Amino acid sequence: MKSQDNCIFCKIVAGQIPSNKLFEDDELLAFHDIHPKAPVHFLLIPKTHVDSLADCGPGEGDVLARIMLKVPELARQAGCDNGFRTVINTGPDGGQEVYHLHVHVLGGPREQWKAPAP
């Protein structure tokens, strides 16, 4: 497990770094990606630090379920009526850049996407 002391997402959760929030409750936080690849591009994270999906076990089952159930609700609220994509980059070969579990949610007209999904 990597150190969470310098985790940018932990700092966002703590309010030390600002974010453009879409949703927040006791366990989850959703905010817009600062480098969007689609007209709608936000991240949904657990507030409790876990490095990646590969580091999840039975103890993370409830929060993983909450994340996956919250995604379609937030996507609809963001205007993704015609579908959306979810991406979880895991580990260096999976393209993970921030080692705090997060789900990318991308949507909007495909011809307006800036690059292939992460």
Residues designated catalytic: 102
Cα–Cα distance for residue pair 40/32, rounded to 1 Å: 8
Pair of tokens at residue 77:
């609220």
Cα–Cα distance for residue pair 103/72, rounded to 1 Å: 12
List C-alpha distances in Å: 12 to 8, 17, 65, 97, 100: 6, 5, 22, 16, 11
Q: What is the DSSP code string of 64-94?
A: HHHHHHHHHHHHHHTT-TT-EEEE---SGGG
